[in-house]
Structure 1
Amino acid sequence: MSDIQELIDLLVEFRDERDWGQFHDSKNLALALSIEAAELNELFLWKKDAESENVDRERLKEELADVFAYALMLAEKNGLSVSEIVKNKILKNAEKYPVEKSRSSSAKYNKD
């Protein structure tokens, strides 16, 4: 069993023990993910670049865990393999941003 599947199993067990599955439709999971991502962003809001590298690490861990947990639950709800969809996205991005055109550049590259 992969580490990702182990996490999903733990999350599902946690959810099911509390009978929260009834609230975990795709819409609510996506909204919860967005709210947790906003809480993650809030850690960096109004900070200068140097300050943003020194945010409260405990809060950073908490917010990242929330974002990741909701992303995993949304994937699970929709029968998606996280490993598969992330690998596919990496391959897609490799085509969209070839090394020879995008190395050391943060500029948006549009394939024409």
Structure 2
Amino acid sequence: MKELTKEIKKFRDERGWGENPDARSLAISVSLEASELLEHFQWVNAEDAIKKDKQAIADEAADVFIYLLQFADVLGIDLIEAAQQKMEKNALKYPIHT
């Protein structure tokens, strides 16, 4: 993920797109891109949406991921570690009932 983050920053910086972006702007961008992802599922069931344009859905998911990586980079968050810690918290909060 570190290598991908470096590639994203290089791509962004070469184009002069928001050099040194702040966490607020990136959080907004994550939300906006997630909304664009949701648009593909508006008024149709998931199966039809995916059949219609899976590639566009993948592109929007990638946009969310790209902005999320930039957001995490600005805040110094290791997303893999954060996800693992969150899963541990979730396991305590939502234990398996047998």
Specify the TM-score bucket, using the shorter chain as the normaliser: 0.7 to 0.9
Pick from 79, 84, 88: which aligns with 2:85?
Answer: 88
Return closer, same or farther for 1:50/1:62 CA change in 2, 3 Å cut-off: closer
Q: Deviations over 1:12-41 (max 9, x none)?
A: 111222233436111111111111000000
Pick from 42, 46, 57: which aligns with 2:43?
Answer: 46
Mean CA deviation greater in 46-55 or 88-97: 46-55
Q: How does 1:24-103 map to 2 (within 5 A)?
A: 24-100=21-97
How many percent identity over aligned positions?
39
Q: What is the alpha-carbon root mean square deviation over aligned residues?
A: 1.8
The alpha carbon displacement at 1:73 in A equals 0.3
The alpha carbon displacement at 1:92 in A equals 0.8
Match of residue 16 from structure 1: 13
Q: Deviations over 1:20-73 (max 9, x none)?
A: 343611111111111100000000001135424534111011100000000000
Aligned equivalents of 1:18, 1:43: Cα separation in 2 = 28
Aligned equivalents of 2:55, 2:12: Cα separation in 1 = 24
Aligned equivalents of 2:45, 2:61: Cα separation in 1 = 21
Number of aligned residues? 98
Higher relative contact order (CA 8 A, sep 6+): 2
Structure 1 consecutive aligned stretches of length 4 or more whose deviation exceeds 6 Å:
none
Report the 3-state secondary structure (helix = DSSP H, G, I; strand = E; otherwise coil) of the residue aligned with 1:69: helix
Report the 3-state secondary structure (helix = DSSP H, G, I; strand = E; otherwise coil) of the residue aligned with 1:100: coil
Q: Higher helix proportion, which one?
A: 2
For structure 2, the 5+ residue unaligned runs are none
Mean CA deviation greater in 50-59 or 23-32: 50-59
Match of residue 109 from structure 1: none
